[in-house]
Amino acid sequence: MTQCMPGQAEAQKPVDLFVIGGGINGAGIARDAAGRGLSVTLAEMNDLASATSSASTKLFHGGLRYLEYFEIGLVRHALAEREVLLKAMPHISWPMRFVLPYHRDMRFEGDTPTSKLLRVFMPWMRGRRPAWLIRLGLFLYDNLGGREILPATRSLDLRNSPEGAPLEDRFEKAFEYSDCWIEDSRLVVLNARDAALRGARIMTRTKVLSAAREADGWAVTVEHGASGAQEIIRAKMLVNAGGPWVGDIIHNTARLNSSEGVRLVRGSHIVTKRLYDHDKCYFFQGTDGRIIFTIPYEQDFTLIGTTDADHPDPSVAPVCTPEEQEYLINFVNGYLKQDISRDDIVWTYSGVRPLYDDGASSATAATRDYTLKVDETGGAPILNVFGGKITTYRKLAEDALELIAPHFDRLPDHWTAGVALPGGDFPVDGVAQLIARLKADYDFLEQDWAARLIRAYGTDTWAILGEAKTLADLGRHFGATLTEREVAWLMDREYAGTAEDVIWRRSKLGLRMDKAQVTRLEEWMQARAEKKAVPAAE
């Protein structure tokens, strides 16, 4: 039996699952498991969604380009999931239309299986994606997963249309198709919050120091960041959803003898001033076989991404390098009439995708599908989670529970499909009505403010604002419509501990707040946290 060291506390009763990692996979598995009656503890060494899950391109999408790699199963599952997820979270996810400009002189020298076949059997195409191939891909995209909400693909004449106005005149034709937006870091937080409402224990800023197999389970030693106190938690089964650190957890934390590998791929994005007036996204093709998106972002900005570059060390924080910034700028400038430069960039971010190492020749070609492996060769079982897309996180959780089920008696069946996340209990097309109702109930809110609150919290907005009758009732105003009442909710219900958590993960208000405002927010949050901690210390 593991001995307690000075400063350690030991939980009395083993939990069923101990989940390492507070990204979307860990939070999704914790929610699914808690909803089936398992006792669950989740530990995240930083903030929820502080790594990969807050650094995505913010899309629920099937992955149109994955068809070129013949990943039909991955695309089919992702396409089917889009509408399942839309119905469960209409506040933080919504349909978007994507415009794919077509031009005959496009040279494509990529290394996809499709491009290699074209070069062999259609050498006269000189590396171009022919229009018929794009139409075939979009036909499959429309029909592989089934659609009830999202409109189908259509062709566009760019010569006299709003979609063509920002583009160079050589683009005359485009294809327009559907995918969906998702507030990625809020998705993680709401899954964690729902897991907690169903009985899970969610511990942020809690590092797993070691995990040791015992006769009937695992002894997990954690260190709570705020206090430095250590605790030993026993669990029947371990779930390694460590994202970029999944390999480190296998070899150094749990000390497993495993040959499974992870390939870390960095994806970087830039955010610029708004580049065009309409609300549609562009899907741009590069001559190197890559694609990027330009997406309307936070009303006044445009999000551009992403890159693919190997990132061998998870301990090195990913950043959007100057070379990646130039790559994205040059990519966009090959399409838009008005060139952009680095002076137009207002923010950059970068994340590391922990892909399953399938031996692909390049980071772009590495599979985005997930792989789940249960290791019980040394005794108690551990589930290791590799890869995955944010779009298929719910299916990944279901598949994880299928593998977990044999280790627990009479585990209930799937339940998450169609079950709303907190605040999402209203129709997919009900956002406008909800905003109007909120403005009627709180007439001091401006339209943009009301819309932001509904898009973040949905029906929970009324619980946040409570009985407020005036702006003053919401307490201190930190800037950019962020008030004391909202920050208190984020600290008490959504695990926010710092100003960074609030302005970059629970929201994107960091784009609108200056340094002085952020400093005042941080000071207020620290003072509030210290004040709440006093009774517990006495």
HEC string of 269-286?
EEEEECCCCCCCEEEEEC
The verdict on 453 and 503 lying in the same domain is: yes
374 and 493 both lie in a single domain: no
User: Comparing C-alpha atoms, which of 205, 182, 184 is closest to residue 55?
Assistant: 184
Under a CB-based contact definition with an 8 Å cutoff, are residues 185 and 54 in contact? yes
Q: Are residues 462 and 388 in the same domain?
A: no
The tens place of each residue's pLDDT in the chain, 538 residues long, gives: 333 433 455 557 999 999 999 999 999 999 999 999 999 999 999 999 999 999 999 999 887 777 776 677 778 888 889 999 999 999 999 999 999 998 766 555 555 554 544 443 344 334 456 777 788 888 888 888 778 899 999 999 999 999 999 999 999 999 999 999 999 999 999 999 999 999 999 999 999 999 999 989 999 999 999 788 999 999 999 999 999 999 999 999 999 988 777 889 999 999 999 999 999 999 998 878 788 999 999 999 999 999 989 998 888 999 999 999 999 999 999 999 999 999 999 999 999 988 887 655 455 555 667 899 999 988 899 999 998 889 999 999 999 999 999 999 999 999 999 899 999 999 999 999 999 999 999 999 999 999 999 999 999 999 999 999 999 999 999 999 999 999 999 999 999 999 999 999 999 999 999 999 999 999 999 999 999 877 544 3
Identify whether residues 484 and 448 lie together within a single domain.
yes
Is there a single domain that holds both residue 435 and residue 396?
A: no
Is the Cβ–Cβ distance between 171 and 164 less than 8 Å? yes
Contact 234, 380 (CB under 8 A): no
User: Are residue 255 and residue 373 in the same domain, yes or no?
Assistant: yes
- Could you write out the DSSP letters of every residue in 1-49? -PPPPTTEEE-SS-EEEEEE--SHHHHHHHHHHHHTT--EEEE-SSSTT
Alpha carbon separation from 126 to 64, 120, 123, 446, 522 (Å, rounded): 22, 10, 6, 55, 56
Classify residue 124: in a domain, yes or no: no
b (16+ CB within 10 A) / e for 517-533: bbeebbebbeeeeeeee
Task: Dihedral sign for Cα 384, 390, 394, 398, please.
Answer: negative
First to last CA, the chain: 32
User: Are 378 and 442 found together in one domain?
Assistant: no
Same domain for 387 and 459, yes or no, is no
For residues 466 and 401, membership in a common domain is answered with no
Could you give the CA distance from residue 93 to residue 60 in angstroms, rounded to a whole number?
8
Nearest by Cα to 189 from 510, 433, 430, 507: 507
Rounded to whole angstroms, how far apart are CA atoms 523 and 406? 49
Identify whether the C-beta of residue 211 lies closer than 8 Å to the C-beta of residue 51.
Answer: no
Both 193 and 247 in a single domain?
A: yes
Q: Rounded distance, CA 437 to CA 533, Å? A: 37
Residue 412 lies inside a defined structural domain of this protein: no
CATH of the domain at 487: 1.10.8.870
Helix boundaries (H) for 290-412: 322-333, 393-404
- What CATH number is given to the structural domain containing 43? 3.50.50.60
Long-range contacts of 151-158 (CB under 8 A, 24+ apart): 151/95, 151/97, 151/178, 152/177, 152/178, 153/177, 153/178, 156/99, 158/101
CA–CA gap between residue 330 and residue 334 (Å, rounded): 6
* Count of structural domains, the chain: 2
User: Could you tell me if residue 328 is inside a domain?
Assistant: no
391 close to 95: Cβ distance less than 8 angstroms: no
Asked whether residue 473 falls in the same domain as residue 510, the answer is yes
Q: Residue 157: inside a domain, yes or no?
A: no
Q: At what angle do helices 72-88 and 393-404 cross, to 10 degrees?
A: 100
| Residues 523 and 403 occupy one common structural domain | no
Give strand pairing partners of 281.
98
Which single residue is written with the structure tokens 């029906």?
A: 459
Q: What are the residues whose beta carbons fall under 8 Å from the beta carbon of 451, sequence distance 6 or more?
A: 435
Give the pTM.
0.92
Residue 359 contacts by C-beta under 8 Å, 6 or more apart in sequence?
none
Task: State the Cα–Cα distance between residues 186 and 197, nearest whole angstrom.
Answer: 16
Q: Which domain holds residue 23?
A: 8-52+186-261+368-407
User: Helix or strand or coil: residue 125?
Assistant: helix
Tell whether 339 is covered by a domain: no
Q: Which residues pair with 233 in a beta bridge?
A: 220
Instruction: Kindly state whether residue 146 falls inside one of the protein's structural domains.
Output: no
